[in-house]
């Protein structure tokens, strides 16, 4: 079967495509292009504009792919190498390489559910109990791989891709609420299955955030641009850039260190 092609006609409203890619950064007075942590020909790694915790980053495709289910095999493998790179940066920055990976893959262009139908993975340090929250919603998971996500995409079904504790699962995503990750992280924290939002300490213990633990405080619009949100964004930049410098300094004399995405 032929590889899926890049959808290069997202229209003028895609906020992860030029010229709007850094519009929200500008609105919040945050670095835009200068805030990209690392990049290669296919992907950009950058802080979320309304981070749930310090270290919350987005892995965004430079071209307009609808979701990871639309990736060819090469693009999928490259995305996984980025996931591994972020885990190493978390280990250096926060003392623990555990991470949460989440994607809400939309079923169709502008199809709702996923707020942005431009491929992007959310990555956060630590574990947050998101899989448990998803399964409590009656959305059982199956082992996730490239073929499984492509099957969802090709048959027009939305999906939730979750990796926690080193295990990746895919769950039905049709009909789930918008900003599901943010709601699930908040629900996991309330239920004691995950970490309260905040800056992780060096030993991996999450610090308590100043944001009240109220059910309604999970939509990005409600924290975007506020001092705590800006502090987490800038803290992510500092911590992960320092981790990258430390990683580069540790390259052995034979030059066979970690892959560079600069």
**Is residue 103 a part of any domain in this protein?**
yes
CA-closest candidate to residue 198, choices 221, 166, 231, 165: 231
pLDDT at 150: 95
Averaged pLDDT for residues 73-81? 98
**Is residue 12 a part of any domain in this protein?**
no
Tens of pLDDT, residues 180-218:
999 999 887 766 555 434 444 434 444 434 333 444 577
**Is residue 259 a part of any domain in this protein?**
no
**Is residue 5 a part of any domain in this protein?**
no
**Is residue 145 a part of any domain in this protein?**
yes
Return the top range by mean pLDDT from 113-117, 168-172, 221-225.
168-172
User: Residue 233: which domain range?
Assistant: 23-200+209-246
Averaged pLDDT for residues 147-166? 95
**Is residue 121 a part of any domain in this protein?**
yes
Count how many residues are written for the chain.
262
147 pLDDT band, cuts 50/70/90, is very high
For 64, 73, 150, 166, 167, the CA distances from 70, given in Å and listed in that order, are 10, 10, 6, 23, 21
**Is residue 6 a part of any domain in this protein?**
no
CATH of the domain at 131: 3.30.428.10
Averaged pLDDT for residues 48-77? 95
pLDDT at 190: 63
**Is residue 56 a part of any domain in this protein?**
yes
pLDDT value at 177 more than 90? no
117 pLDDT band, cuts 50/70/90, is confident
Least confident of 3-7, 100-104, 154-158, 245-249: 3-7
How far apart CA 201 and CA 38 sit, in angstroms, is: 23
Q: How many domains does the chain have?
A: 1
222 pLDDT band, cuts 50/70/90, is confident
How far apart CA 10 and CA 123 sit, in angstroms, is: 24
188 contact partners, CB below 8 Å, separation of at least 6: 128, 129, 130, 132, 133, 194
């Amino acid at each position: 079967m032929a590889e899926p092609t890049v959808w290069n006609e997202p229209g003028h409203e895609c906020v992860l495509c030029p010229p709007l890619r850094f519009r929200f950064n500008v609105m919040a007075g945050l670095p835009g292009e200068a805030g990209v942590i690392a990049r290669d020909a296919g992907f950009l790694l950058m802080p979320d504009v309304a981070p749930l915790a310090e270290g919350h980053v987005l892995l965004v495709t430079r071209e307009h792919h609808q979701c990871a289910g639309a990736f060819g095999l090469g693009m999928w493998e490259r995305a996984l190498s980025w996931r591994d790179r972020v885990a190493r940066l978390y280990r250096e920055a926060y003392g623990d390489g555990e991470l949460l990976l989440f994607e809400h893959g939309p079923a169709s262009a502008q199809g709702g559910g996923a707020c942005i139908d431009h491929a992007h993975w959310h990555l956060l340090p630590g574990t947050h109990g998101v899989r448990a929250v998803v399964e409590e919603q009656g959305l059982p998971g199956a082992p996730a791989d490239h073929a499984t996500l492509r099957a969802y995409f090709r048959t027009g079904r939305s999906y939730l891709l979750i990796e926690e504790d080193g295990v990746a699962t895919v769950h039905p995503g049709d009909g789930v609420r918008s900003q599901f990750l943010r709601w699930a992280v908040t629900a996991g924290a309330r239920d004691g299955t995950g970490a309260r939002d905040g800056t992780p300490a060096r030993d991996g213990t999450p610090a308590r955030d100043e944001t009240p633990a109220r059910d309604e405080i999970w939509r990005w619009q409600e924290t975007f641009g506020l001092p705590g949100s800006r502090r987490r964004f800038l803290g992510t930049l500092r911590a992960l850039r320092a981790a990258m410098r430390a990683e580069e300094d540790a390259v052995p004399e034979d030059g066979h260190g970690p892959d560079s995405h600069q």
